[in-house]
Structure formats: structure tokens, C-alpha cells
Structure 1
């Protein structure tokens, strides 16, 4: 196989699969997609409720842990990340959410032209096939499905009605740019199956002669000639390889491993690299800084009626009924996943102009996401602050590319985050105590009625809070004048030619919601930027050639 291609894409996740498809679709350029994990053949990847089976799977999940976080009682927080074709889109909770108009307008205001809501909306519409039909903000015919939950559940209906009683509007579409409201989520499913980017984008492109996909291929470093990226080193089945790029190397390894790879390759904070003996190719102090994540706080209630998914999973009959419903009809709990109820609200109504808190309401309960369900009828009110002010870091520990980096989220280190999270817990309790929800709640299992004061609630959040799987921001997009910016508005690494980053790491600030769909949008737009730059370079080369010959 050729060891030189036009484009190398590192990471076959939410962004990488999109770029592999789009950059190879006209047949003009050769593309190699490198994925450290195995093919996506594990059956539970493709069954929506299989989220619980992949949460701790050692082959398809990196299974990272943060450093002990002093703000979280020095706990190490489990951070699952996808390690297979489709990346985290192959193991995530399936939620189809874009974020708020203001998120993207804020990116543009920070010095990133072309990333405002109106600029991004055509790409959001392009990527989706929405079963609500086409509209001013919705698209149809795109690769990624936005599927409405067509089966109502009495608990979720009560949750929605309680939200309306508290003054929230009923929503069927949370993706118009204005999220505030309550309703059922849309999911990235198709006919009862998970619709990862490997399914939506990569599978249709696999037969192209100009696209090569390498699995079990762990990229260990970027190759440079001066200040230009010209290829990568990777290891596959214990053997080292070198792959060269005629045009570009594009990192899509995610908010943890893209900065890790940049730092291992000599791009990052000079003091850190020098301390570890990494030759500095280009000093960029922002690489690995600006880490943001949504902190999930899970309130668990015992339900007064046996109508929860806990009840179905506790008996062989219940499991068999669920399995048969999916096998025969592609419907039921296995086709929906875990979280159904959506709410975007303002826990700090006098401070927040737009929703500052997101609910994921689930008809089951467990000690942690993906864990064993409780031996009682249970439901979960998961709340998270949408725009945290706390910032963390991702730093390599050594020059070993197989050693996970140091990950320090610094959850709840900002005073705003502590106030908003306490307020979100109190809001969840209001929902639970509002009819018709109140009649279905037998007791608050966690945190429990004895946790009442702000200090007690904050301690509960520190003791039980966990990621909701949205680490972002560690290769920040911004102008060169921004000391923490890593890439420009065209996602090119500052000071380095032939190298881009396209994944959650480039978000300057975290979007107000789940991150999968925003990353797909970013990759769709990045593909256009890359092709525009390629055409411009080709044009310049065509103009320069006869001039050089004449000289």
C-alpha cells in the first residue's frame, strides 16, 4: 500500500469519519483514516441501549480517569471515550442537540469569523435527516438521522407536564437555536439502530479506491519538515509505520488525545515540553489548556409504580419482552437508549438570559451512568450547568504515546459553577415535587431529604458528580493575538503549515448541550475549508509554473 496520500485523518470519530467521506467523495484526492481502536463489529455498539454495555468495554472504550480533582474530594473521575470506528459517536447517549444560537455567535465575537449561528446553520441542515421535516432550521436528506421518540412513557410525560407547570414551553424541536423548554429528545438512531458517524458517513464511502481505512493503528507522532507537517508515525499490530501527506495532516483524535499528540510532537507549552525532553517544534502555550466539561449531577428517585426500565430489566420475562420487541419491530427500550426527557431551563433566572441548565431525564436509575440498575423502581434527574466557567488542563506525563495524559478538569473551581449547580439541584427537586410528577415519586433516594443547605448540596455534588462526556476546548480556536489560541478560524494550527485540528478541542467555549452533532457540523464545514484551500493552492501553483518557466 502507498505510504503517501494527500490527506491523513487521525481518529475515526465524530469528525474523522465525516472528513474521510467528504475529502474522498470527488475522487481527486487520496485519504487515509487512522483509528487506534478496532472495527465497530461489537454488536452492542449498534443497539441503542448498548450504551450500558460499551461504557466499560476495554476494547472499544479508552476508559480514561482524570487526575484526583481537589474540587471533587480528590476523586479520580471516570472519562469514557470511544475507541473504535465512529469514536465516541459509537458509544454515546445518542442525544441529538446542537446548542444555542448564542454559543456560535459568541465564537464569532471572540475573533472567529465564519462560526456564527447563521454561518453554521447551513451545515447543520446539510448533515441531518430530520423526521420532523424540512424547515428554516431543519434539514432532510443528510447522512445523520435526527429521530423523534415515537413511544410515550408515563414517567417522561409526567416530567414534561411538571416542566410546563413550572412555566416552561413544550418543545418538539430543541435545535432551532432557542432551546428553552421541555419535551422528548431526538436521537441519532435510524430504524431502531444507532446511527454513528461510522454508519452515517464512513460506511457509504468504504468502497472508494481513494479512501484507505486503517484500524488498530495508533498514531504516535507528527512528522515535520521545518514548520510544515508532512506525515505521521503510527504503530499497528506492534509494527511501526510512517505515512506521509502531500497536502495535510488533520487531527480528529478528540479533546484529550489531539493535544496529547501535538505535545508529543513538539507543539505546546515550551516549559512542559522542555521538562520532558521533547524538542520544541513550535511553542503554543494554549495546547492542552482551556479544558471544559459538563459536570453531571444525578438525583435518583424511587418511583411509586412499577413502570420503570429498572422493573423491566429485573426479570427474565421483562428482558425477553424488551429483546423480542426490538428483534421483531426495532422498537421499545432497546431502540431508544437511556435518556428520553429533555429540559433546558434557567436555574439562575436573574443572571442567565438563556437556559443555563440541561436535564437528561431517564426512566431507570443506577449508581453511575452505565452501571447496574437499582433493585427498586427508579428514575434519574441528571442536571448539568451548560456553560461552566471552570477551566482545566490536559498535559502529557512522558514521551510515551501509549501513556494517557494528565487530565485535570478542575470541576466547580469557579464560584459561578458552584452557585449554578446548587441551583440546578434545587430546580430538579422542584420538578420532582410538581404534579403530576409528585404523585409518582415515592422518595428521594439520592441525595436524600437530609441534604438541604447549600453547603450540603455542594458536598453531594463533589461526592457524586461525574462527567456527562463533553470534554472540549484544549486546542482553542482563536486569532493569533489570543495567547491561548491553537488554531485559526480555518482550523489551521498557528505557525505550522499542513496541520489542522477538527474536533471538540477547537471549541473556544463549550456549547450549551451535547457535543456530537456540533462536531459533525464543524467537520462538514472544515471539509469545505480544506477543499477551498486546496483549490487555492492548486491555482497558485498553476499560475506560478509558467511564470517560473518564463524566468
Structure 2
């Protein structure tokens, strides 16, 4: 095996901080820490740098990077709740992580979502504590009143930041169905929310996106945080390098994170760190790397051939994920969709030429039609009451504080929490329905926001005696969809959501551009859809919504007994090691994750700097 000049150059630096994972939050932390010239910050990223990749940068080409070299292409274990199906779990393997692959939507949870984190004992993580960090990340471009009225793109400018690195906008162009979204939902009794990012996201609204208004390119952590800071001498990136373990050393009774062992171009290296190591590898790989470093459940570590250094059975547990189903509709054949662009070279060429010449056209349009609704909007009082009774039977004596909040949130008359997201986009996004030539499609997505189903992510056992598991071995991802005491509640909630999704697409004016439902096949006109049984279809088609959280959760008042990190994101039982990414979220939120992950990165970086300065005072 040969040496790597890039790795050797990386090793010549005396790092105060090393960030494992040049991903969404990791690049936030690295860029912010390197603002202090007294620090030297290294970034170790497994994926390549792809700043100029059109499939990442052009908004209308979103989803083209899935199942490519920019994707880890994980797979979950067979799920009994999904009739034994496995599912792919796409995660970004590229500088910028999943912020380079996501669907660009920029949403926030409700005030209650973050206040629940603080209720668990995580001081400073409620809405009021995290809002300044949402704003710190944002450079929000507020539309004028005429634009707001035309596209129902309403907002409260005071809720957003204007000086942050990330350009946040309402797109200039919209998919064809969006013009009917608000009128249709309003007809169904759903009000337009004119301030959906201010702590209350219930209602229908037009979603913000992470797009640079000048270049009309995706704005993500690699371009917004890393590239402006890359010229600093005290910020050093090593890409296409895979971390093997975090090196922990014993000093009297204390374990201290002292370095990182990694592989680059076939050779292994070790880098020492004088300050802190920041683990930002995401909800899948942050717990994986903790376990490979000897932090976790002893049974799992011993089976993997890993020496136990710090016992914590919470590592890799508490996995919570939004669940997604997709109904597919045939739509007006004159509507241009991303799928049509992929299948029609002449149409794609014209769209590309328009994008290059004027930064307009279908290559700039993304799906922005969102609605977050409580169950009470589309379920009867008796149906909700029946679910509450089932919930009480499933959780007769809730012990964990997280369970208590979930049960209380569900059983307290439903309140105004957005328990289900409905999102419409033009194109066939379902992996289960094969598009027919010369036809155009739209997809109605239903996403459960507060799952009771809780799973885990762990390293696998060693392949044989005398060997040990490594980071080259795929982690065992088991979301336990529709399993556990509350899994049946999740399942019934999802089934109910499909009926309302179909009502949306069957209601004018949106219905005027819809030919009919093709997946699942529409019910016969004789029977109607009021008693349509979609149970089997839901179990056979539920997939991930790509929003995993919780596997290195903040422990709150329970400390190490309830989590992996404290409220300052320090790993319990070891000095000099923090986790800063979506894995620290103790409870799922009602929103797409990226805006919250950026806020976590900003807040985490602020804490690290505060503690560093205090240590030098």
C-alpha cells in the first residue's frame, strides 16, 4: 500500500480541533471554529468534493444523486412491520453530506417540538434558545408583497436571519400544481399559514428552499460554510478519508479523546488533537464510530471484538424516523416534470439551455406545496378516541420521559401539532410504480411526524473469531417501523392519512389537472373511497423519509441513564469529544430536518468556542 501526499500534508498540522464528517453540521462547526485564528481545525470527510457537480447544484435535478457515488447507499434490516421488506437508506457521501442530496425544503418545527427537548432537561434547547441559531445560519431574501400574494409565499421577516451564510428564498418559479394548492386546501378547511417558520407550522403553506437567488444553484453547507472559509490557513480538509476509530486514552480515572485513526488511499494514519474532537457523522455513523471506539453497550461491543472503554447502552438506540407513503396520480400531459426531462432528451436540452441563459425554467422549480395537519382535521372524534384508548393500553406505565411526552402529545385532545405532513410534487417518485411512456405523473406524499416506533443502529458482530468489526462493515439499521407498543398506532395513523391525501387530489381546482389515481389503483366509482381499505398498501409501500434522529441523544435530566451526550453535546464518560448532528435530537420534530441541523451546528460551535475560551481564561 502506498502513501498519500494529501494525508501526509494533513498530518503536518497541529490541530486543536478535528471534525469527523464534512457534512451538514460538521462544516458549520469547522467554519465557525476557524474564525478564531488561535485554533487549527481539521475536517476528515469520507466522500469527495463535488462543488461543481450539476446534479447537486441544479435545483430541478434533485434526487439524481441518489444511488450514485455521492450516496452511502445503506440498507435497513428486514422489517416485520413492512411484511419483511428491506429498504435503502440514502445518506450523503460527499462534502456537504445530505445537504448536497436533500430535496431543498427549508422548514422548521413548532415551538412545542424544541420546548419538548428542554422539558427533558436539556437547558437552552427550547424554541427561545435555538431560534437565534436558526437565524444565525440564514441569509433570508424576503419577497415583495406582489410575489407573496401571487404564490402564497407569505412569511414573517422578523423570524429569519439576513446575515447568515445560507441563502434562503421562495423560488421564482413553481411546479404547475402549486398554483392550485392553497385554494384546494382552503376548500377542505385548511387555512393558509402566513408565518409557518415562527413556531407554529400547522396549515398549508409554500415552503422555503435553500437556493442562491443569484446563481439559482443549491446553497448547502459545502458552498455556504466551507468554501468561503477554505482559504484560511487554519482550516484544513482531507476528503475521501474514512475514519476507523476515535482514539481514547486513560488519564487516571478519566478517558480522554486524543486522536483519530483513519484510512486514506489504502494506508492508515493517526492524527493527534490537542483540544477536542467533534463527531458529526450523522444519525447512522456517529453511533457507529462511538461503538467502534469502545463507547456503547458492552454486549454489542464484545460481539464485535471491540474493547469496552465506556459503557453506555443508549448509543445507537432511540432511532426515530418519519415514515413516508406516496400515492401516484396521472396528471395533465402538458405539464413538464423532472421525470419527463430525464426521459425526453429534446425537452431536457431546452430546459438546460434556458437555465444556462436566464437561470429560469423547469430546472429551477422544486416542489413547495406543503401542509402540516393535526389528526383532528381529517379523523373523526370517535376514531381519535379509539386511537387514544389503544395508546393507553400500549403504554399503561410509561417510564421514559420521551415516551411520556409522546403519549401526552397524542392523548391531550390532539392540540394543534402538525402530526402528518402532506406534500405534493409533480413527477413519479414512488419506487413501486413504473411510469408509462408518454404519461406525466404527480406524487402525493404523506409523512408521519411523531412516530412511536423506535429503532436502533449498531455495528454488526465480528465476521469471525479473532477478528473485529470495522467501519467498512455496514451498520445494522433497524428502524422497527410499525413495531413496539406504539407501532400499531403509527400504522393506523398512516392509513388514515392516505384517505385525506386522496381527498386533496380529488378536490378542485387541483383535481382539474389530475386524470386519476394510478397507484394504488383508484377505488371503483360504485363504492367510492369513504371505506377504502388501504391497510395492505400502506404496509407494503411505506419507506423512509430520510430524516433519522436520536441515536446519540441528549440525556437531559436523566444524564447518562437516558442519553449519550449532555446538553452541551459532550459525550458522557469521555473528555474532549462531542457529537454535533441530528443524532443528538432526543425527540423527532414536525419538519424536514436540514434547517434544524444547521441550527444544531451553529449552537454546537458556539458552545465549543465558549468552553474553549473559558478553559484559557
Deviations 1:206-226 (A, max 9, x none): 010011100011010010111
Instruction: Please tell me whether residue 188 in structure 1 is matched to residue 210 in structure 2.
Output: yes
Say whether 1:357 aligns with 2:420: yes
**TM-score (normalised: structure 1):** 0.93
Q: Which moved more, 1:308-317 or 1:391-400?
A: 308-317
Gaps (5+ residues) in structure 2?
A: 1-8, 144-155, 382-412, 463-468
Q: Is 1:411 paired with 2:474?
A: no
Is it true that 1:393 corresponds to 2:456 in the alignment?
Answer: yes
For residues 89-142 of structure 1, what are the alpha-carbon distances to aligned partners after superposition, in whole Å with 9 as ceiling and x for unaligned? Answer: 011101101211111000000110000001111111111011127733111121
Instruction: Measure, in 2, the Cα distance between the counterparts of 1:427 and 1:38.
Output: 42
Which has the higher mean CA deviation after the structures are superposed, 319-328 or 201-210? 319-328
Distance 1:93 1:132, change over 3 A: same
- Asked if 2 retains the 8 angstrom alpha-carbon contact of 1:480 and 1:494, the reply is no
- Which residue of the partner structure matches residue 593 of structure 2? 515
Partner of 1:367: 430
**In angstroms, what is the RMSD of aligned CA positions?**
2.0
**Equivalent residue for 1:199?**
223
- Establish whether residue 503 from structure 1 lines up as the match of residue 503 from structure 2: no
Q: Deviations over 1:48-71 (max 9, x none)?
A: 2332320111x2110111011111
Is the alpha carbon distance of 1:336 and 1:437 closer, same or farther for their aligned partners in structure 2, counting shifts above 3 Å? closer
Say which of 461, 470, 478 aligns to 2:547: 470
**Are the counterparts in 2 of residues 348 and 356 from structure 1 also a CA contact under 8 Å?**
no
- 1:79 to 2:98 alignment: no
Residues in 1 aligned to 2:470 and 2:169: alpha-carbon distance in whole angstroms: 42
Q: Is the 8 A contact 1:96 1:188 kept in 2?
A: yes
Counterpart residue number, 1:485: 563
1:7, 1:32 within 8 Å by CA — same for their partners in 2? yes
Match of 2:197 in 1: 175
Q: Distance in 1 between matches of 2:514 and 2:126?
A: 42
SS of alignment partner, residue 481 of structure 1: helix
DSSP 3-state at the match of 2:106:
coil
Q: Give matches, 1:322-333, under 5 Å.
A: 322-333=351-362
**Mapped contact 2:107–2:591 kept (Cα < 8 A):** yes
| Preserved contact between residue 170 and residue 183 of structure 1 (Cα < 8 Å) | yes
Alpha-carbon offset, residue 368 of structure 1: 2.8
Partner of 1:543: none
Mean Cα displacement is larger for which, 200-209 or 145-154? 145-154
Distance change >3 Å, CA 228–CA 395, structure 1 → 2: same
Counterpart selection for 2:515 from 442, 450, 460: 442
Q: 1:15 to 1:106 in 2, by over 3 A?
A: same
Partner of 1:18: 28
> Out of 150, 158, 167, which is 1:136 matched to?
158
SS of corresponding position for 1:448: coil
* Partner deviation per Cα, 1:450-469 (whole Å, 9 max, x = no partner): 49688941221221111111
The CA deviation string for residues 521-541 of structure 1, in whole angstroms up to 9 with x for no partner, is 0110111100111111112xx
Q: Distance in 2 between matches of 1:454 and 1:39?
A: 51
Structure 1 residues 271-280 or 442-451, which shifts more?
442-451
Q: Which residue of 1 aligns with 2:182?
A: 160
Counterpart CA distance in 1 for 2:576 and 2:436 is 48
d(CA) in 2 for partners of 1:111, 1:372: 49
Match of 2:536 among 455, 459, 475: 459
Q: Which shows bigger deviation, 286-295 or 353-362?
A: 353-362
2:233 counterpart of 1:209: yes
Shift of 1:5: 0.6
User: Is the 1:100–1:177 contact (alpha carbons within 8 Å) kept by the matching residues of 2?
Assistant: yes
- In structure 2, the partner of 1:494 is 572
DSSP 3-state at the match of 2:142: coil
CA separation of 1:373 and 1:364: change in aligned 2, threshold 3 A: farther
Q: Distance in 2 between matches of 1:88 and 1:245?
A: 27
Q: Shift in Å at residue 324 of structure 1?
A: 1.6
Matching residue of 1:549: none
How many residues end up aligned between the 2 structures? 537
For residues 395 and 375 of structure 1, what CA distance do their matches in structure 2 show? 45
Distance apart, 1:246 and its partner CA: 0.7
Aligned equivalents of 2:436, 2:594: Cα separation in 1 = 26
Residue 384 of structure 1 corresponds to 447
- 2:273 is matched with which residue: 245, 248, 252? 245
Aligned equivalents of 2:433, 2:362: Cα separation in 1: 15
Distance in 1 of aligned mates of 2:563 and 2:531: 36
Is this contact kept in 2: 1:170–1:182, CA < 8 A?
A: yes
Residues 211 and 152 of structure 1: CA distance in aligned 2, closer, same or farther (over 3 Å): closer
Q: 1:170 to 1:358 in 2, by over 3 A?
A: same
Which of 487, 504, 520 does residue 431 from structure 1 map onto? Answer: 504
- The answer to whether the Cα contact below 8 Å between 2:120 and 2:557 also exists between their aligned partners in 1 is no
Distance in 2 of aligned mates of 1:456 and 1:222: 50
Distance of aligned partners of 1:152 and 1:234 in 2 relative to their CA distance in 1, 3 Å threshold: closer
Distance 2:172 2:228 in 1: 27
Secondary structure of the equivalent of 2:24? coil
Q: Are 1:89 and 2:104 matched, yes or no? A: no
Alignment TM-score, normalising by the size of structure 2: 0.84
1:538, 1:281 → 2: CA distance?
29
Whole-Å separation in 1 of the counterparts to 2:343 and 2:194: 32
SS at match of 1:32: strand
2:4 match: none
